[in-house]
C-alpha cells in the first residue's frame, strides 16, 4: 500500500506571544514543530503500514527549514520524505497549497491513501485535505476517528461528528484527515532518529512536479489577507443568577419587554 502523509511545520503555539502593538505573532525564539494533528496522521500511516505492508512517504510544502519536520517524521516511523520547496510556492493560500501537494503526489507516482491532520493550528482552515482530493479527483473523508477496515480497494472509516459518528465507506485512493481520537502517537525511537539523521530528503521544485506556475504561490492564491487582528470582545450580555424559577421568569419578562415572544411560554 502506498501511504502518503502531508504535514506542515508550524510555530509551537503553546508558548506563542502576540505583539500587542502590531497584533502579529512574535516569531523570535518560537520553536517550530510538526502541526500536532499531523503527528496523528503520521502514526496512523505507520500503523497502516505495519498492518497492510507498503511504504509511508511524508511530504510538506514549505521553506528549506521545513526539512527538520520531515526528519522528525522519519524518526516517528515514516520511510521517506520529500520537501516541496521553491520560491514559486511562496505566499500560497490553501488552494495553491493543495494544488502543489497534489502535483507532487502525482509526480511521485500517486497514493492509495493520503493522510493529513484535520487542520493546521496556525491557519485553522482544514481546507488543504479536501483540496488535494479534488485536485487528484479522488474522494475524501474528513475528521476520521477510526479506520475500521480496508478490503479489496474499499475502506470503511468512522467520521467524528459533534454528537456521535458516521460510518463511511469509500473507494481507494482516498484522502483522510484525522482527529486526535484516532490513536496515541508513539514516542520516537532511537533507530528512527538515527535513520532520520542519515536520511536524504530530496527537494522538489515547481519544475520537478510539472506544476503550472500560474496556479502556484501568490499567483494561484485568490485569498488576500487584508488585516490580522484580535477580535474585540463581544460586549453586553447579562447573567441571571438565583433560583431557576426566579431567573426564568425574570428572563421571560425581560424578553417580553424587549418585544420577543416565545412560543409555549405563558
Partner 1 sequence: MNYFLTDDQKMIKDLAAQIAREKIAPIAAELDESGEFPWDVVKTLAQSDLFRVFVPSEYGGLGGGMFEMCLVVEELSRACSGIALAYAASGLGTIPIILFGNEEQKKKYLPRLAAGEILAAFGLTESGAGSDAAAIKTTAKPDGDSYVINGTKQWITNGGEASIYTVVALTDPVRGVRGSSTILVDKDHPGFTFGKKENKMGIRASATRELVFQDCRVPKTNLLAKEGMGFLVAMKTLDQSRPGVASQALGIAQGALDQAIRYSRERHQFGKPISAFQGIQFMLADMATQVEAARALTYAAARSIDAGEKDVSRLSAMAKVFASDTAMRVTTDAVQVLGGYGYMKEYPVEKMMRDAKITQIYEGTNQIQREVIALGLIKESVRNQK
Residues in contact with partner 1 by CB under 8 A are: 186-191, 193-194, 197
The Cα angle at residue 217 between residues 212 and 223, in degrees rounded to 5 = 115
Three-state secondary structure call for residue 28: coil
Nearest approach in angstroms of CB 76 to partner 1 is 11
Nearer to partner 1, 69 or 104 (CB): 69
DSSP state of 31: P
Nearest approach in angstroms of CB 43 to partner 1 is 12
Nearer to partner 1, 194 or 265 (CB): 194
Nearest approach in angstroms of CB 71 to partner 1 is 12
Nearer to partner 1, 107 or 186 (CB): 186
Half-sphere exposure of 212 (CA within 13 A, CB side): 8
Nearer to partner 1, 187 or 225 (CB): 187
User: DSSP for 167-219?
Assistant: EEEEESSEEEEE-GGG--PPPP-HHHHHHHHH---PEEPTTTTT--GGGSTTT
Nearest approach in angstroms of CB 263 to partner 1 is 50
Gap between the Cα atoms of 20 and 182, Å rounded:
37
Nearest approach in angstroms of CB 63 to partner 1 is 24
Nearer to partner 1, 184 or 230 (CB): 184
User: What would the grid cell of residue 227 be?
Assistant: 488585516
Amino acid at each position: 500500500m502506498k501511504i502518503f502523509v502531508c504535514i506542515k511545520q508550524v510555530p509551537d503555539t503553546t508558548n506563542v506571544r502576540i505583539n500587542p502593538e502590531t497584533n502579529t505573532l512574535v516569531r523570535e525564539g518560537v520553536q517550530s514543530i510538526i502541526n500536532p494533528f499531523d503527528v496523528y496522521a503520521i502514526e496512523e500511516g505507520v500503523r497502516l503500514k505495519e498492518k497492510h505492508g507498503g511504504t509511508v512517504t511524508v511530504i510538506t510544502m514549505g521553506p528549506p527549514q521545513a526539512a527538520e519536520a520531515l526528519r522528525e517524521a522519519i524518526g516517528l516511523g515514516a520511510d521517506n520524505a520529500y520537501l516541496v520547496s521553491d520560491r514559486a510556492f511562496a505566499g500560497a493560500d490553501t488552494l495553491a497549497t493543495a494544488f502543489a501537494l497534489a502535483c507532487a503526489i502525482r509526480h511521485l507516482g500517486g497514493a492509495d491513501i493520503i493522510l493529513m491532520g484535520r487542520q493546521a493550528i496556525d491557519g485553522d482552515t482544514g481546507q488543504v485535505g479536501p483540496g488535494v482530493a479534488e485536485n487528484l479527483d479522488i474522494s475524501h473523508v474528513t475528521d476520521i476517528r477510526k479506520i475500521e477496515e480496508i478490503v479489496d480497494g474499499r475502506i470503511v472509516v468512522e467520521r467524528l461528528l459533534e454528537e456521535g459518528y458516521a460510518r463511511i465507506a469509500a473507494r481507494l485512493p482516498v484522502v483522510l484527515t484525522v482527529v486526535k481520537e484516532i490513536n496515541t502517537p508513539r514516542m520516537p525511537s532511537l533507530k528512527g532518529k538515527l535513520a532520520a539523521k542519515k536520511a536524504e530528503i530530496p527537494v522538489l521544485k515547481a519544475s520537478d512536479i510539472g506544476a503550472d506556475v500560474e496556479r502556484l504561490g501568490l499567483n494561484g492564491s485568490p485569498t488576500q489577507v487584508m488585516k490580522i487582528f484580535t477580535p474585540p470582545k463581544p460586549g453586553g450580555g447579562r447573567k441571571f443568577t438565583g433560583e431557576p424559577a426566579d431567573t426564568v421568569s425574570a428572563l421571560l419578562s425581560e424578553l417580553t419587554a424587549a418585544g420577543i415572544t416565545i412560543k409555549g411560554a405563558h
